[in-house]
Structure 1
Amino acid sequence: MKNTIKNLVLLTVVTVFTLSFTTIDKDKKEIKTDKSKVVWKGYKVTGSHEGTIAIKSGFLNFEADKLTGGEFVIDMTTINTTDLQGEYKGKLDGHLKSGDFFDVAKYSTAKLVFVKVKASGKNAYTVTGDLTIKGKTNAITFTISVYGNKATAALKIDRTKYGIEYKSANFFDNLKDKAIYDEFDLVSDLEF
């Protein structure tokens, strides 16, 4: 009995001593919003449009130089079309900000929170996250690559999951060449 107590005490002391000198290298890296870029591209039957949107804030979490998490807030009021100019650019920017699409007066930000991160190759990770647009949250899976202090990610988003049904062939009949595809792309070049 005495030996068992001594062994338990010794094991406890060794464990506490070991853990007190063991550090887990955790690091939260803030995104440099002025040096990072998000490009969007939306598709319709007769072509496509593209533009940019600004990151309001964000960070990536690392543990021993491996990506473990992250979170981003997007400033929806900055939706900007880059493939049009003048009157047509103004009309499309205004329409994307309206209630038909992102309703930025009511929902000025969108948010992405990493829920699960799994290494999928050298410097590559498969991320499952919760994406919130217009107050609706859905799970999304995408790939992100990290090189030094930079990362790139490409997301394909189904707008109808967030209540954006304007000219969707899944909700409206007889749109023909006026239909807008449900999925749009986001490509992010991040610096931290």
Structure 2
Amino acid sequence: MKQVLFPVAVIAIMASCNNAPDADKAATGDSTAAAVATGANFAIDTTSTVEWLGTKPVGQHNGTMKISSGSFAVENGNITGGSFVIDVNSLTDLDLKPEDGKEKLEGHLKSADFLDVAKYPTAKFEISSVEPLTGDSISTHKISGNLTLKDSTKNVTFPAKVTLSETEATATANFNIDRTQWGLFYGNDKSLGDKFIRPEVNIKLNIKATKQ
């Protein structure tokens, strides 16, 4: 992974670019039991974000979603568990201006074609394991957790950089997920040519938490 903890993601389901996003591919499997969170509670700052990037043959789009709540449990210098909620309705595109179709793209991503925020306004990530990672110049840990997006839950595993102090915890990650694993199939047909939307969505997590 290249940067942070999290998320959602999911939205990049819609972007475009000559190549798929350049990042580690998250391993995806069936949901598993959540880790038992023991130790001190660190509340996640709501300024934390999930960044998304999606691509197609002729371009790309990127933006953010807000993390509305969550916490980590820390014991003996290690994260033992935790979870966070993503406000999918906060999805914002960053590469377009209003006159260039910003609102139209955001509305489409929030529609039933993609995230269907009217029915599923939030997404959730719940940690199932955190393991030290060796031999990686950027990442410090391998994080696994259950990502619930719309009505599907899958376990994803990705590298992350975790930094802990007595009062603060930060986590960053940079990885790709396959949106079709969560039933997001819109535009996922190569016969569409330039309108084809790649299944890979890039997710970057930027999370900060403070001890309570």
Please point out which of 98, 101, 115 is paired with 2:111: 98
Please point out which of 47, 51, 62 is paired with 2:59: 47
| Structure 1 residue 174 displacement after superposition | 2.0
Q: Deviations over 1:162-181 (max 9, x none)?
A: 11111102xxx621111000
Q: Percent identity?
A: 40
1:180 is paired with a residue of what secondary structure?
Answer: coil
Whole-angstrom distance in 2 between the partners of 1:61 and 1:124: 17
Aligned residues between the structures: 164
Gaps of 5+ in 2: 1-37
Letter in 2 for 1:161: Q
| Structure 1 residue 186 displacement after superposition | 1.2
Q: Is the 8 A contact 2:67 2:86 kept in 1?
A: yes
1:7: which partner in 2? none
Please point out which of 97, 101, 125 is paired with 1:85: 97
Gaps of 5+ in 1: 1-24
| Structure 1 residue 112 displacement after superposition | 0.6
Q: Which has the larger radius of gyration?
A: 1
Q: Deviations over 1:28-58 (max 9, x none)?
A: 2110112x22211111111110001000111
1:176: which partner in 2? 193
More deviation in 67-76 or 118-127?
118-127
Q: Is the 8 A contact 2:39 2:80 kept in 1?
A: no
2:121: which partner in 1? 108
1:188: which partner in 2? 205
Please give the residue correspondences for 1:126-145 in structure 2 after superposition, counting only pairs within 5 Å.
126-145=142-161
Whole-angstrom distance in 2 between the partners of 1:110 and 1:55: 9
| Structure 1 residue 116 displacement after superposition | 1.4
2:185: which partner in 1? 165
| Structure 1 residue 92 displacement after superposition | 0.3
CA RMSD of aligned residues (A): 1.7
1:151: which partner in 2? 171
Query: Which protein, 1 or 2, shows the higher relative CO under an 8 Å CA cutoff with sep ≥ 6?
Result: 2
Whole-angstrom distance in 2 between the partners of 1:104 and 1:67: 31
Whole-angstrom distance in 1 between the partners of 2:129 and 2:162: 16
* Structure 1 runs (4+) greater than 6 angstroms displaced: none
| Structure 1 residue 70 displacement after superposition | 2.0
1:175 is paired with a residue of what secondary structure?
Answer: helix
